[in-house]
């Protein structure tokens, strides 16, 4: 993983990302913005892998993030509700097949389960094209969440479980 930091949030579109979380007021959005860091990844670059523990929530400000799993069976198979194997990403023995679950768009977020619940990531996340994200680190946000219970409540209600 080669995540490139592009500094602290300055863009006018950044607060809009946090305003998309229902129940947060302007002050709470600004507080979240103050602990965020802007990062970018490129096409196919991994943000994190399934099974890893992390301390970050990523809010997608531009681009897309694909969620999926690496399929390590000896034969490529269709996985029904879990997605499909993209044969274009398969080597001959299917050691690195990509099983696509979903693609998240700008305005979405990823990594929340590992951050809020202390659980490992359920899926691998990788960039689709050039992706810019806001990274919010647990260590930076812990005191904020404890002193502002509404932010914690709103994040828990708004964030998808990936």
How does pLDDT run across 82-121, given as a tens digit for each residue?
555 554 445 445 555 778 889 999 888 888 777 777 888 8
Domains of the chain: 15-158 (2.60.120.10)
β-sheet bridge partners, residue 109 = 59
Is residue 5 over pLDDT 60? Answer: no
Q: What does the mean pLDDT of the chain come to?
A: 75
Q: What is the pLDDT of residue 4?
A: 55
Give the pLDDT mean for 9-20: 50
Q: What is the pLDDT of residue 161?
A: 52
Q: What is the pLDDT of residue 160?
A: 56
Q: Which residues, 6+ apart, have CB-to-CB distance to 22 below 8 Å?
A: 154, 157, 158
Give the pLDDT mean for 70-90: 51
Lowest mean pLDDT among 9-23, 46-60, 102-116: 9-23
Q: pLDDT (tens digit, 9 = 90+) per residue, 107-159?
A: 888 887 777 778 888 889 999 999 999 898 877 777 788 889 998 888 777 66
Q: Which alpha helices (H) appear in 66-148, and where do they start and end?
A: 112-117, 138-147
Q: Which residues, 6+ apart, have CB-to-CB distance to 68 below 8 Å?
A: 83, 98, 99, 100, 101, 123, 124, 126
Rounded CA separation 155/149 (Å): 10
Helix, strand, or coil (residue 138): helix
């Amino acid at each position: 993983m080669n995540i490139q930091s592009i500094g602290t949030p300055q863009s006018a579109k950044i607060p809009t990302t946090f305003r998309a979380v229902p129940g947060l007021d302007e002050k709470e959005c600004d507080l979240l913005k103050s602990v965020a860091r802007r990062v970018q990844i490129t096409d196919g670059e991994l943000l994190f892998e399934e099974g890893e523990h992390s301390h970050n929530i990523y809010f997608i400000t531009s681009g897309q993030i694909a969620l999926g799993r690496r399929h390590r069976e000896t034969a490529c198979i269709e996985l029904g509700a879990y997605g499909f194997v993209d044969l274009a990403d398969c080597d001959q023995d299917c050691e690195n097949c990509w099983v696509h679950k979903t693609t998240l768009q700008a305005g979405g977020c990823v990594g929340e389960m590992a951050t809020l619940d202390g659980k490992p990531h359920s899926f691998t996340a990788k960039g689709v094209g050039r992706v810019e994200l806001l990274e919010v680190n647990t260590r930076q946000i812990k005191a904020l969440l404890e002193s502002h219970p509404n932010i914690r409540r709103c994040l828990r209600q708004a964030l998808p479980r990936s």
